């Protein structure tokens, strides 16, 4: 990939810690431009409040990386003034405009990829804008049939068969078509974006004890394992559906490149317990690179100096690495 293309970083919810942690990107010296999408005055005010000596530089297509202490900014104007820690539906459109800008640049192949700081889904929906998450937003923008949400630490990758669904809807969403699409994307991106030639994948069952032979649910028998067996017959190194409470043990994980969980809170609590603050979110299946932090807006920490940017830094590192390898 062209080393002069910028990596765009959305600053997310303006009342949260997104602007705070984005300022720490000025401490980096990278091989390509890193550009924060934010209201310039908001960043300046937050830098002054946090006593961070950051020189904001308007981005007009510069091809050289910013110097240490400098931060490229693509100005996206706020709708209304921000009060620290207080959500305002008036700025919901501001958040969406960041995402729109980043997506358009990525789809036009005018960027190296996207890194996203956290947003507050509730306030966006309160403003009358339908929004279920970054993953679904970029899927719609890219016009792809399916994407896969995967979180990763240094030692563990967990992909999700379903994402932001109420628990009572999960079982109906586990279909042969969905599983096939998810596994195809997972295998493809592990090979193409992570350069793992023969990925080893462990799969969680949906039910306790993976259904225990049908006594605790039959989705494993009727849907999940038949799909997995077809991949096994093709020579893919993928397990049968396993009980999640035993799959997530060191004995099994040491032999896995990725875990496929059936729903959000089946896999992510385990991953975050191992590496919260240094875990990242990757959207697989998009025609561009997208990584994200693993935490929320932390409204109570905004402007306090207590927010940690470690997850943003890891997300940026991975996006840059994948861009370099593309």
- What pLDDT, in 10s, does the model give residues 159-172? 999 988 899 999 99
Per the annotation, does 264 bind a ligand? yes
Write down the pLDDT at residue 276: 67
* pLDDT tens readout for residues 203-223: 999 999 999 999 999 999 999
Average pLDDT across the chain, whole number = 94
pLDDT at 255: 87
295 appears as a binding residue in the annotation: no
Considering the chain, what percentage of its residues have pLDDT values greater than 90? 86
Torsion over CA: 322, 114, 200, 145 (sign) = negative
Shortest CA distance to 297 belongs to which of 13, 11, 98, 10? 13
Give the ranges where the chain is alpha helix by DSSP (H): 18-23, 40-49, 92-107, 121-126, 134-142, 167-173, 176-192, 219, 225-233, 244-247, 250-253, 264-275, 310-325
pLDDT in tens, 17-41: 999 999 999 999 888 999 999 999 9
- Annotated binding residue 209: yes
pLDDT at 7 over 90: yes
Which two three-digit tokens encode residue 315? Answer: 């997300």
pLDDT tens digits, one per residue of 257-296: 999 999 999 998 988 887 767 789 999 999 999 999 988 9
Considering the domain delimited by 145-285, tell me its CATH architecture: 3-Layer(aba) Sandwich (3.40)
252 is in an annotated binding site: no
Q: Where are the alpha helices (DSSP H) in 162-307?
A: 167-173, 176-192, 219, 225-233, 244-247, 250-253, 264-275
Largest CA distance in the chain: 63
Which of helix, strand or coil describes residue 158? strand
pLDDT, position 215:
93
Q: What is the CATH number of domain 1-143+288-326?
A: 3.40.718.10
Q: Give residue 187's pLDDT.
A: 97
Helices 134-142/92-107 angle, 10° precision: 40
Residue range(s) occupied by CATH 3.40.718.10 in the chain: 1-143+288-326, 145-285
Which residues, 6 or more positions from 246, have their beta carbon under 8 angstroms from its beta carbon? Answer: 252
Give mean pLDDT, residues 115-142: 93
Give pLDDT, residue 154.
82
pLDDT given for residue 88 in this prediction? 96
The DSSP symbol for 101 reads H
Kindly list the distances between the CA atom of residue 321 and the CA atoms of 3, 29, 39, 99, 199, in Å, as whole numbers in the listed order.
11, 14, 27, 22, 19
**Contact between residue 60 and residue 75 where contact means Cβ atoms under 8 Å apart:** no
Q: Is 219 left (phi over 0), alpha (psi -120 to 50) or beta?
A: alpha
**321 assigned binding-site residue:** no
């Amino acid at each position: 990939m062209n080393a002069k293309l910028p990596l765009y970083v959305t600053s997310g919810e303006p009342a949260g810690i997104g602007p705070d942690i984005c300022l720490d990107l000025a401490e980096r010296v990278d091989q390509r431009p890193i550009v924060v999408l934010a209201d310039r005055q908001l960043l300046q005010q937050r830098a002054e409040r946090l006593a961070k000596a950051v020189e904001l530089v308007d981005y007009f297509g510069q091809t050289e990386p910013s110097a240490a202490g400098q931060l490229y900014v693509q100005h996206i104007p706020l709708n209304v003034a921000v009060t620290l820690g207080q959500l305002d539906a008036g700025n919901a459109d501001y958040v969406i405009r960041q995402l729109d800008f980043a997506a358009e640049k990525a789809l036009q192949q005018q960027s190296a990829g996207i890194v996203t700081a956290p947003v507050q889904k509730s306030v966006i929906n309160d403003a009358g804008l339908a929004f279920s998450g970054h993953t679904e937003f970029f899927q719609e923008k890219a016009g792809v049939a399916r994407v896969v949400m995967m979180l990763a630490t240094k030692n563990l990758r967990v992909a999700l068969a379903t994402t932001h669904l109420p628990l009572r809807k999960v079982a109906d969403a586990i279909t042969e078509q969905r599983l096939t699409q998810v596994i195809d994307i997972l295998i493809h991106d592990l090979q193409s974006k992570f350069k793992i030639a023969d990925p080893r994948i462990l799969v969680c069952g949906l039910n306790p004890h993976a259904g225990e032979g049908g006594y605790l649910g039959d989705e494993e028998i009727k849907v999940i394992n038949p799909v997995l067996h077809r991949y096994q017959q093709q020579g893919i190194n993928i397990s049968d559906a396993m009980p999640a409470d035993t799959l997530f043990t060191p004995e099994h994980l040491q032999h896995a490149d990725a875990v496929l969980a059936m729903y959000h809170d089946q896999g992510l609590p385990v991953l975050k317990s191992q590496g919260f603050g240094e875990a990242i979110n990757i959207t697989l299946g998009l025609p561009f690179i997208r990584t994200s932090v693993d935490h929320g807006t932390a409204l109570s920490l905004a402007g306090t100096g207590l927010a940690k940017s470690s997850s943003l830094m890891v997300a940026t590192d991975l996006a840059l690495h994948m861009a370099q390898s593309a």
